[in-house]
Amino acid sequence: MKKKIMIIIVIVLLLCLLGFSLFLFFYNNLERKLKNIGYTNEEVAIILNKVPHESYNEVLNLGYNKSLINILSAKNYLDSNFDLYLNYYMKNKDEDINNIITIMNYNADLINLPASDLLANLVQEKYYINDKVTRYLDYGNSQNVDAKKVIAIVNSNADLGFYNSIYESNLNDNNLILVNKFYALKNDYVPSDLITLSGQYNRAFNNKMRKEAADSFMNMVDAAKLDNIILYNVSAYRDYAYQENLYNIYIKKDGKDEADKYSARPGHSEHQTGLSLDINNISDDFENSDEAVWLQNNAYKYGFILRFPKGKEDITGYKYEPWHYRYVGIEAAKVIYDDDITLEEYYAYYIENTSN
C-alpha cells in the first residue's frame, strides 16, 4: 500500500515538473519572439505581466507596436478588456490611447463608433445615457459646447426643437409628471386631490394645489416665517381653458414667438398639474429679494425646485422665473438641487432611462 502511494506521489511530481518545464519553455520562447520583433526587455516584461495568456498570439501577429505598450501602461487599463482595447485601437489607430481605454471601459457596445475626445468625455458624465449616444454626438459635433451641456440639451430633448415632438404626459409619474414643451396634458385633465390654500398661505384667485404639494408648501411657509421670511401663493392650479385664454392674451400683446419664451401653450403648463405655483411676486425684481434667496437655499428641503433657473433657458425653453416653484418630492428635489440640474434632466435619467 505504501509502495503504491509513493508511486502516485512520484508520478504527480513528475507531471508537475513536466508542466513547469513546458511553461518555462513557452515563456522563454515567447520572450525571445517578442525581443526578435523589436520589444525591449522592459516592454517584454510589461506584455508578459499584463496581456492575458490567450491573447499572446494576437500580440505576436501585431508585430512591434509602441501603441500596444501605451495601452498596457494606461492608467485605467484592465486585463479583462485587453481584446476590446486592441480591437478598438485597430479601428482608431490615430486616436488618443486614453480615449480608447475610457470608451471601452464604459461600454463595449460603443466599439463601432469612432473614438474621439467628445465620446470619451460624454461617457464620463454622470447623466450620460447610452441609448442617446448618437444624438449626443450629432449635437456635440455641430455645437461648440462641452460634454455636460451636450447631455443636458439632448436629455431634455431641446436638440429636437421645442414643440416639434409632442408626447402625452405620464400621469403615473405622480409628483414627477413632466409637462413642458414636449410633454402635454389633455384638455380635460384635472387633478383629483386638489385642496385650497387659504389664510396666510394665499393671496390669489388660483389657490388650489394637489394635497401633498399643498401640505408641503404650507410647511415651507411656516418654516420660512421662523426666519422672518413671508411667503404666499399668487398663482397655483390653472385649468386648460384658463391657460389657453392667458396664452392668447400674451400672443396678442407680444406675438407668438415672444409669448412662447415666458408662457406655456395650453396643455403644456405645469400649473395644470396642481404641483406648481408662483410665489409672492411675478416680477424679475423678485430675484434679489430676501424671500427669493431663502427659497433658492431652502425650498428643496420641502420638495420644491426652482423650475426655470437662470442659465438653463436653452434646456427648459423658458426665461428665468425666480418666482415659479414646482413640487417634486424631497428625494428628487435634493438631487436636482445638489447637482444643479433641471426637472427635464432628472426625468430623462431617473425616470425614462430606468423604465427602458
Report all structural domains of the chain as residue ranges with CATH numbers, in order of start.
159-355 (3.30.1380.10)
Amino acid 102: pLDDT: 97
* Distance, C-alpha 304 to centroid of its chain: 20
Amino acid 355: pLDDT: 74
Q: Report which secondary-structure segment, H or E, holds 172.
A: none
3-state secondary structure of 196: strand
Amino acid 249: pLDDT: 97
Amino acid 299: pLDDT: 98
Q: Which cell numbers hold the place of 298? A: 431652502
Strands (E), 258-337: 276-279, 304-306, 324-327
Amino acid 22: pLDDT: 40
Residues in the chain: 356
Q: Which cell numbers hold the place of 15? A: 507531471
Largest pairwise CA distance in the chain: 108
Amino acid 32: pLDDT: 87
Nearest residue to 140 via CA among 153, 125, 127: 153
Amino acid 72: pLDDT: 94
Mean pLDDT split into 10-residue runs, the chain, 356 residues: 57 49 52 88 91 89 90 93 94 94 96 97 97 97 96 97 95 97 97 97 97 98 98 98 96 95 96 98 95 98 98 96 98 98 98 84
Q: CB atoms < 10 A from the CB of 339, how many?
A: 13
Residue 337 near residue 331, CB atoms below 8 Å: no
Catalytic residues: 321
Pair type for strands 167-168 and 183-184: parallel
Amino acid 104: pLDDT: 97
Amino acid 12: pLDDT: 52
Q: Report the alpha-carbon distance of residue 323 to residue 214 in Å, rounded.
A: 16
Amino acid 210: pLDDT: 98
H helical segments located in 110-210: 117-123, 133-142, 147-155
Q: Which cell numbers hold the place of 130? A: 447610452
Amino acid 356: pLDDT: 64
